[in-house]
């Protein structure tokens, strides 16, 4: 219901590739396609049921594409059972053995990821590209600063942006030799500044879609901070066509973070909850943190595409959060429920979260105008009375601005004639 934010820079136009084809799962990447979210399973791919369970959880959390490791024959066999049952395109992750890439293609995967730092033999790379070409299966050239080819490392004096981009360029040239062009590229690093500069250079060098990520970002919250710092910076510059958070955590957190980031940047339509809350202050009438957590827990799995605000006091809360679809603010042991800043109901403090959830479901089902029309008679007047009572009790001029303004005027007037006015 809330309008998405406007991206700060036009999206860089790239070629478009497609993973999968209808009537099965299918996702376009690049061109005018929405920026997509990816994650990777942590199960053994040979464990078909366990892996599928995780794939479905990732899809529910916002993943458009899911990658599974294919490091052994049993994994490839597992993919043959997983791919036809997956709700989203499946990409096979290949590291050292080109035979696994060929096996994954036989299993029917929708895409491959090759690491040019690990799979180095030109003939093998061309063979995989040829087989992928014949099946119309895209490949991601997945360059990683931590596994850069030793010759490039030596040539460029380390894992520099130039070295990462050159690694992708060499791989791409091998693909072009066999007429394979369905490619997306990543140049990941665990260093955020290095990752940003490498992708900026890649965007100037290639017209292929770019897959963004800060590799080995670590566990939350630090991993989320690093991932967001790198990915969001580039997306704000119009760079990037598909993204993955690389967290040492349940991969569902990766998918959820990716989706939330795209929604926050206005790059994807909101599908789930956006809960905002004040940071709390001395005016707060409730435990804002506790109420916000309770509201988040109660609402986040309901898939309600609305913005909900939890505010600590009624003095400023409804006004400050008037852009939210729905919100609640506390005051005098009550909760003031508001829609687009308009008070619609006053409930006991203990019922705040319950009332918020009930109104959220009605709001999505009936619409904003209908819920505003259903506001309780007298709710606004009761809320205003509570607000005025709190202002009188706590003082509206909490900074003593009037007294300070008078002191400032006297000081300035005194300096005007060279004499400082005495301050009482």
DSSP conformation class of 72: S
- Cite the residue boundaries of each domain of the chain with CATH code 3.30.413.10: 274-394
DSSP helix/strand/coil, 220: coil
Residue 398 has pLDDT above 50, yes or no: no
Phi (first) and psi of residue 395, to 5 degrees: 90, 120
Residue 73 is predicted with a pLDDT of 96
> What H or E segment, with its residue span, contains residue 162?
helix 161-177
For the chain, the average pLDDT equals: 89
State pTM to two decimals. Answer: 0.82
pLDDT digit string, tens, across residues 231-258: 999 999 999 999 999 999 999 999 999 9
Q: Give domain 274-394's CATH number out of 3.30.465.10, 3.30.530.20, 3.30.413.10, 3.60.150.10.
A: 3.30.413.10
- Cite the residue boundaries of each domain of the chain with CATH code 3.20.20.20: 16-264
List Cβ<8 Å contacts ≥24 apart for 21-25: 21/136, 24/84, 25/86, 25/87, 25/88, 25/89, 25/110
For 336-356, what is the mean pLDDT?
90
272 close to 300: Cβ distance less than 8 angstroms: yes
Residue 27 is predicted with a pLDDT of 97
Higher pLDDT: 216 or 329? It is 216
Residue 271 has pLDDT above 90, yes or no: no
Residue 233 is predicted with a pLDDT of 98
Cα-atom radius of gyration of the chain, to the nearest Å? 27
pLDDT digit string, tens, across residues 161-195: 999 999 999 999 999 999 999 999 999 999 999 99
Residue 354 has pLDDT above 60, yes or no: yes
Contacts of 132 (CB under 8 A, 6+ apart): 101, 105, 112, 138, 139, 180, 182
For 398-411, what is the mean pLDDT?
71
CATH code: domain 16-264 is 3.20.20.20
Residue 394 is predicted with a pLDDT of 59
pLDDT digit string, tens, across residues 107-131: 999 999 999 988 889 999 999 999 9
For 144-169, what is the mean pLDDT?
95
243 close to 267: Cβ distance less than 8 angstroms: no
Residue 5 has pLDDT above 90, yes or no: no
Residue 405 has pLDDT above 80, yes or no: no
Residue with tokens 């860089």: 12
**Per the structure block, which two tokens stand in for 73?**
């024959």
Residue 257 is predicted with a pLDDT of 95
pLDDT digit string, tens, across residues 41-74: 999 999 999 999 999 999 999 999 999 999 999 9
Least confident of 93-97, 322-326, 327-331, 365-369: 327-331
């Amino acid at each position: 219901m809330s309008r998405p934010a406007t991206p700060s820079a036009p999206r860089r136009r790239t070629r478009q590739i497609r993973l999968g084809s209808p009537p099965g799962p299918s996702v376009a990447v690049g061109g005018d396609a929405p920026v997509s979210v990816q994650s990777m399973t942590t199960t053994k791919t040979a464990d078909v049921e366990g892996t599928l369970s995780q794939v479905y959880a990732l899809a529910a959390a916002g993943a458009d594409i899911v990658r599974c490791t294919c490091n052994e024959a049993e994994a490839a066999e597992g993919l043959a059972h997983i791919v036809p049952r997956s709700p989203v395109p499946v990409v096979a992750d290949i590291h050292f053995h080109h035979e696994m890439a060929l096996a994954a293609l036989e299993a029917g995967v929708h895409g491959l990821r090759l690491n040019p730092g690990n799979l180095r033999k030109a003939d093998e790379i061309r063979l995989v590209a040829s087989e992928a070409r014949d099946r119309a299966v895209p490949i991601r050239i997945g360059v990683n600063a931590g596994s850069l080819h030793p010759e490039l490392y030596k040539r460029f004096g380390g894992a520099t942006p130039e070295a990462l981009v050159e690694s992708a360029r060499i791989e791409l040239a091998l693909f072009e030799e066999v007429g394979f062009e369905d490619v997306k590229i990543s140049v990941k690093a665990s260093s955020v500044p290095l990752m940003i500069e490498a992708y900026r250079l890649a965007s100037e060098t290639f017209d292929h879609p770019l897959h963004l990520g800060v590799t080995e970002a670590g566990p939350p919250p630090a991993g989320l901070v690093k991932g967001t710092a790198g990915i969001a910076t580039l997306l704000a510059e119009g760079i990037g066509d598909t993204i993955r958070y690389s967290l040492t955590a349940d991969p569902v957190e990766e998918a959820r973070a990716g989706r939330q980031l795209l929604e926050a940047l206005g790059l994807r339509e909101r599908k789930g909850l956006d809960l905002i809350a004040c940071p709390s202050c001395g005016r707060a009438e409730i435990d804002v943190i506790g109420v916000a957590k309770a509201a988040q827990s109660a609402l986040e799995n309901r898939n309600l595409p609305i913005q909900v605000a939890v505010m600590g006091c009624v003095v400023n809360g409804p006004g400050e959060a008037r852009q939210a679809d729905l919100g609640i603010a506390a005051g005098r042991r009550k909760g003031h429920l508001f829609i687009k800043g308009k008070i619609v109901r006053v409930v006991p403090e203990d019922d705040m979260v319950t009332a918020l959830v009930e109104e959220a479901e009605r709001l999505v089902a009936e619409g904003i105008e209908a819920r505003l029309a259903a506001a309780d008679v007298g709710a606004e007047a009761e809320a205003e009375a509570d607000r005025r009572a709190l202002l009188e009790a706590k003082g509206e001029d909490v900074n003593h601005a009037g007294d300070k303004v008078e002191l400032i005027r006297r000081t300035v007037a005194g300096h005007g004639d060279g004499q400082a006015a005495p301050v009482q």
